[in-house]
Structure 1
Amino acid sequence: MTAVAAVIALVGSLFFAFGATLQQFEAVGAAKPGLLALLRRPRWLAGGASILAGGGLHIVALGLGPLTVVQPMGVAGLLFALPSAAALHGRRPSRKELSAAGVVAAGLVGLVLLVPVSQTPTHLEPGGVLTLLGVAGTASVLLWAGSQVASPAGRAALLATSAGVLYGATATLLRVLVDGAWNWWCLLALPLPALLALMMLQRAYAVGHFGVSFASLQIADPLTAVAFGALLLGEPLPTGILPIAAASLAAADTVALARASPLAARH
């Protein structure tokens, strides 16, 4: 079943990546990249359906195989998303883009594999939920503020990182609901970071540097989930120099990806 789980997770990552490329294509072409305006675009909605399908397949894969096999498969989405987005914008991705994306993916796989898997049930008190929302919200606002004075590539990275922080908070709440005892506080809080993350991500996509946005999201989301797991759920952190090296490699080559990836023109 492990091989089946890996295949399902891989297909799920392709659905997620394709959905992201559709949403970015619509967001970068919108005069107003607000969520309400994008909800009226059929192709953006189709992208959302593809992302939901990818998420559903990822959950199925987690039910069939270990996290250490399923999670790295999600990174493959980055390698699929870049050429897909380039094709939608009528160009070919350069070798520098693809090589930088490959190194980012390698760093992410290394990081995911090095995170210890917790076997204890997760639980979050109401105070912990408020702490999670407060920390994620503060970090998101600071990243958004920094994006206002950054270059286009920097703006895309900061906005996507802000979305990744909020998605990491969402993943933490969802994990408590799935793995731990039923918690009304988590259920009520869940839509807030998820909706804010979606709005922030569309603003990142609208900038035009899709590869940078997608890579930044892929880095920030798991790192935030790991940090919240350690801070609020008492889960172990990875130790040693290897996790730091893997995260640094992914981050450094996101910068290289920003330099290699052209700004997408509005259509």
Structure 2
Amino acid sequence: MIEVHRVSVLVLVLALSAACCLGFGFVLQQNAAQRAPLSDFLSFRLLIDLVKVPRWLGGIALMVVGMALGAAALGQGELSLVEPLLATNLLFALALSRRQTRQPLGRQGWAGLALLAGGVTAFIVAGQPQSGAATADPMRQWLIIGVMIGLALLLTARGRRSRLGSGPVLLALAAGLLYGVQDALTRVSGQTFSEGGFAELMTGWQPYAVLAIGVTGLVLVQSAFETASLRKSLPALTAAQPLAGIICGVGFLGDRLRTDAVALGWEAGGLLAVITGIVLLGLHPAMPTGTATVTERTRVASPAVSPASP
């Protein structure tokens, strides 16, 4: 059982509420993005076209609320604690998708749920994340951020070349890495604001990086949603984000995890269970399959979503 003095109830409530909003928001976004013109793939025009679709706006509104709740959770708890909790957004996405498709959970669903929830609990209980002093070595910070962004760029380049094959999975992985970095920088921005106020916050580079990474990640996610079902895109996104966030938290934000052999074994096992659970839930029959046909995309694109010019 999670020790009360280790894990704040407030952090749990904030993080799980954020996961709920994110999960519901992802389902609504994919419902709309799958009917967007394919010519908008990996283009900011995709966001301009989708902003005309009410369902997508509803999904974005939920996502914004989820990100705000996640930021509040990050302000109260360690990144290494909050990230695994945010990964439960897939449970809420499955709940909404299951309501739409009326599919029972079955063995696969219950197994995925148990692995995801049990893995998150095992990681938190074994690791006992604690805050510490952020690393004084800026090179480590830039190295970790650079590696994450570099991997995201490589995945995006590869995904661009196979957009109807492995592309959506690669784009979702890239977005997950960026969102993990965004969460880390959100925590830094929150600390700066609490210590120096709005003026000091706006003189730093972190809030602008949060905005730029957020918009870029949004384009990647919507492009993945546009060209593949939630079964292919959402599990990759959900798995990559907490891993990137934990690396950033431990790497340069000063988060501390237990490092004895037993604890490390449980932490690794917990993360493996989380990823396995995410895959099982993502492949569940309740998750919507396929994308809209070309005819449907043409119909939606005009006049609700106008085709992008070449």
TM-score, normalised by the number of residues in structure 1: 0.79
> Does 2:44 align with 1:18?
no
- 2: CA distance, partners of 1:156 / 1:112: 30
2:90–2:278 contact (8 Å) kept in structure 1:
no
Assess, with a 3 A threshold, how the Cα gap between structure 1 residues 112 and 198 changes in structure 2: closer, same or farther. Answer: farther
Corresponding residue of 1:172: 184
Corresponding residue of 1:198: 218
1:124–1:233 contact (8 Å) kept in structure 2:
no
Q: CA RMSD in A?
A: 3.5
Q: Secondary structure of 2:290's match?
A: coil
Q: For structure 2, which runs of at least 5 residues remain unmatched after alignment?
A: 196-200, 297-310
Structure of greater relative contact order (alpha carbons < 8 Å, 6+ residues apart): 2
Deviation of 1:25 (Å): 0.8
- 1: CA distance, partners of 2:88 / 2:138: 36
Greater shift in the superposed pair: 26-35 or 249-258: 249-258
Greater shift in the superposed pair: 251-260 or 223-232: 251-260
Corresponding residue of 2:51: 39
- 1: CA distance, partners of 2:83 / 2:180: 14
1:39–1:45 contact (8 Å) kept in structure 2:
yes
Q: For structure 1, which runs of at least 5 residues remain unmatched after alignment?
A: none
> Does 2:182 align with 1:162?
no
Corresponding residue of 1:265: 291
- 2: CA distance, partners of 1:40 / 1:187: 27
1:21–1:84 contact (8 Å) kept in structure 2:
yes
1:247 equivalent among 253, 259, 271 = 271
Corresponding residue of 1:99: 110
Deviation of 1:11 (Å): 3.3
1:28 equivalent among 34, 42, 46 = 34
> Does 2:93 align with 1:81?
yes
Assess, with a 3 A threshold, how the Cα gap between structure 1 residues 122 and 36 changes in structure 2: closer, same or farther. Answer: farther
Greater shift in the superposed pair: 212-221 or 253-262: 253-262
Q: Secondary structure of 1:190's match?
A: helix
- 2: CA distance, partners of 1:185 / 1:234: 20
Corresponding residue of 2:248: 228
Q: Give per-residue Cα distances to partners, 1:136-159, cap 9 Å, x unaligned.
A: 22110222244444885x543322
Amino acid at match of 1:187: P
Deviation of 1:204 (Å): 1.9
- 2: CA distance, partners of 1:53 / 1:188: 19
Q: Secondary structure of 2:34's match?
A: helix
Assess, with a 3 A threshold, how the Cα gap between structure 1 residues 149 and 252 changes in structure 2: closer, same or farther. Answer: farther
- 2: CA distance, partners of 1:209 / 1:124: 43
Amino acid at match of 1:220: A
1:9–1:61 contact (8 Å) kept in structure 2:
yes
- 1: CA distance, partners of 2:208 / 2:136: 13
Deviation of 1:124 (Å): 7.2
- 1: CA distance, partners of 2:147 / 2:88: 29
Q: Give per-residue Cα distances to partners, 1:153-206, cap 9 Å, x unaligned.
A: x54332212111001111111111222565612233222222211111112222
- 2: CA distance, partners of 1:166 / 1:124: 23
Corresponding residue of 2:204: 184
Deviation of 1:16 (Å): 1.9
Corresponding residue of 2:306: none
Deviation of 1:105 (Å): 4.1
Greater shift in the superposed pair: 19-28 or 64-73: 64-73
Assess, with a 3 A threshold, how the Cα gap between structure 1 residues 258 and 21 changes in structure 2: closer, same or farther. Answer: closer
- 1: CA distance, partners of 2:53 / 2:273: 37
2:120–2:270 contact (8 Å) kept in structure 1:
yes
2:132–2:256 contact (8 Å) kept in structure 1:
no
1:79–1:101 contact (8 Å) kept in structure 2:
no
Deviation of 1:258 (Å): 5.5
Deviation of 1:232 (Å): 3.0
**Percent of residue pairs identical:** 27
Deviation of 1:224 (Å): 0.7
- 2: CA distance, partners of 1:250 / 1:5: 19
- 1: CA distance, partners of 2:135 / 2:208: 15
